[in-house]
Amino acid sequence: MKYLIWVTWLVSVNSIAAEQYFPPAGQWQQATPQSLGVNAAKLQQAVDFAIASDNPAAKDQAIVQATTFGAREPFDQIIGPMSVRAPANGLIVYRGNVIAKWGDTTRVDMTHSISKTFLTTVTGLALDTGLISDAEDLVGPYLPSDNTLFSSEHNQQIRWDHLLRQTSDWQGSLWGKPDWADRPQGEPKDWPNRPLHTPGSHYKYNDVRINLLALATTYVWRKPLPAVLHERIMQPIGASSTWRWYGYDNSWIELDGQKMQSVSGGGHWGGGMFINAWDLARFGYLFLRDGNWQGKQLISRDFITKARTGGAAKTDYGYANWFLNPERQALPAAPASAITFQGAGRNIIYIDQQNDLLLVARWIGNGDELNQLVAKILAALPTE
C-alpha cells in the first residue's frame, strides 16, 4: 500500500511538472482570459489602470537623474549610457499563458535596479559552480593580491553575503564615486566622515557597493558578466539578442591580459541592464519555476531560498534586488510569499507562486500604483 501511494504521488508530481509550459525562443503561448476562468472585464480594468498609471516623471532618464538623485548628491555626473524610455508597458502571465499585454513590450529600455537581480544571479551561479565556496566567505581573499579594495581593517570583515544583502557598509571609492556620495544622509559636512557600521549589521541601499559586488564577481568569473549571464541564463531561457548590460565609461579593467568592462548594478549614473518586457518576463518566469527551465536547473534552489529570505538587518529584503512581502506590509493586496524585483522608474517583475502569476510592469507610478494593480489582477483570477 505504501509503495502504491508513493508511485501515485510520483506520477502526480511528474504530471504536474510535465504540464508546465516553457516558452520557446521568439514566442510565448497566449490564451484568452475566459479560457482560464479569468474575468476578462476585470482584467481589462487592470490593464487600463496600468496604462493610466504611467509615471509622470520625464521620459528622458538623464533628466530624471539630474532632478532626483543628482539634486542632492555630489559626484552626480553621468558616466554610463542613458535612454529616453517608452510609455508604460507590460505583460501578465497566468499559468504559463500570456493573458494580457499593453504598450510597446519590445522596446529595449533601462531597467535600473532590476540590474541588481541579474547581478546577484550571476554571483549565485559562482556559488553554484564552486567559484565562490560559501556566501559566508570573506570577499578580500578572492581578489588579486595587489587589490586594496578590502585591505582596510573595516573592509577586511566583509563577506559575500554582506555584499549580496547590501549590508557590507564598505568604505571607499569606486569608479570615481565615494560610497558616502550615494543617497547621502545627514548634513553635507558630515558625509565624508560618516560613522561605520559592523558589516552585516546595517542595511543601506547603495549603488557604489553593488558595483563593488559586480567587480568582485567579475574577478571570480575571470570574464565579463554579460557573457556569463548570456551563456548560463539568457540563452537557455530563450531571451532575445537585444538586451545589453553596460558599465561606466571608466569601469574598464584588465584581466588575464584582456580589457573588459565591469558592469553596473543599476542606472544611477547610467548603465545597467537595457532590456525589453518579454525578456524581463522570461527572467521572472525562471524564478516563478524555482530556477528550473524545461527540466534543467539553471540556478540552484538553495540560492533561491537564500535570495528570498530576509536578512537580520532588513527582514523584507533578501539578496539584491529581491523585495519580500512579510506580513503583506509592502504589498497588502498580494500573498505574503510574493516577490518583486524592482527598479526605479518604476520597473517591476512581480512573482506570485501561490497564484501561478507573473507580472511585468514598466514605468508605473512610484506610489501605491503597484499594489492597486496587483489587487485588480488578483480580483480577475478565478477563486477556485
Q: Tell me whether residue 4 is in a domain.
A: no
What are the start-end ranges of the E strands in the chain?
Answer: 89-94, 97-102, 109-110, 173-174, 177-178, 244-255, 258-263, 272-275, 292-293, 296-297, 322-323, 339-343, 347-352, 357-362
pLDDT at 171 over 60: yes
- Provide the pLDDT for residue 382: 96
C-alpha cell at 267: 542606472
In this prediction, residue 19 has a pLDDT band, given cuts at 50, 70 and 90, of confident
Q: Tell me whether residue 18 is in a domain.
A: no
Please compute the mean of the pLDDT values over residues 48-75 and round it to a whole number. Answer: 92
Q: Tell me whether residue 7 is in a domain.
A: no
**Do 266 and 274 touch, CB atoms closer than 8 A?**
no
- Provide the pLDDT for residue 355: 98
- Provide the pLDDT for residue 66: 87
Cis peptide before 346 (omega within 30 of 0): yes
Cα–Cα dist 62/93, whole Å: 32
Q: Which of 349, 211, 215, 214 is closest to 275 using CA atoms?
A: 349
Q: How far is CA 232 from each of CA 55, 124, 296, 299, 383, rounded to the nearest angstrom?
A: 34, 11, 11, 9, 37
In this prediction, residue 1 has a pLDDT band, given cuts at 50, 70 and 90, of very low
Exposed/middle/buried for 192, CB within 10 Å: 0-12, 13-18, 19+?
exposed
pLDDT digits (tens, 9 = 90+) for 121-164: 999 999 999 999 999 999 999 999 899 999 999 999 999 999 99
Cα–Cα dist 280/285, whole Å: 8
- Provide the pLDDT for residue 96: 98
Cα–Cα dist 178/181, whole Å: 5
Q: Tell me whether residue 11 is in a domain.
A: no
In this prediction, residue 114 has a pLDDT band, given cuts at 50, 70 and 90, of very high
Cα angle: 88, vertex 210, 311; to 5 degrees? 95
Cα–Cα dist 91/100, whole Å: 6
- Provide the pLDDT for residue 303: 98
- Provide the pLDDT for residue 12: 38
Radius of gyration of the chain (CA): 21
Inter-helix orientation angle 207-221/114-128, to 10°: 30
The domain total for the chain is 1
**Reported pTM:** 0.94
In this prediction, residue 16 has a pLDDT band, given cuts at 50, 70 and 90, of very low
Cα–Cα dist 230/239, whole Å: 9
Instruction: Give one word for 270, left, alpha or beta, with left for phi > 0 and alpha for psi -120 to 50.
Output: left
For position 237, which CATH number holds? Answer: 3.40.710.10
- Provide the pLDDT for residue 298: 98
In this prediction, residue 67 has a pLDDT band, given cuts at 50, 70 and 90, of confident
- Provide the pLDDT for residue 69: 79
Mean pLDDT of the chain: 94
Domain that holds residue 241: 25-380
pLDDT digits (tens, 9 = 90+) for 248-307: 999 999 999 999 999 999 999 999 999 999 999 999 999 999 999 999 999 999 999 999
Q: Tell me whether residue 58 is in a domain.
A: yes
Cα–Cα dist 321/280, whole Å: 14
Instruction: Give one word for 125, left, alpha or beta, with left for phi > 0 and alpha for psi -120 to 50.
Output: alpha
pLDDT digits (tens, 9 = 90+) for 326-344: 999 999 999 999 999 999 9
The DSSP bridge pattern shows strands 347-352 and 357-362 to be antiparallel
pLDDT at 202 over 50: yes
Cα angle: 308, vertex 310, 313; to 5 degrees? 150
- Could you give the percent of the chain with pLDDT greater than 90? 91
pLDDT at 70 over 80: no
Q: Tell me whether residue 205 is in a domain.
A: yes
Q: Tell me whether residue 66 is in a domain.
A: yes
| Top-confidence residue, 185 or 308 | 308
- Provide the pLDDT for residue 14: 38
pLDDT at 4 over 70: no
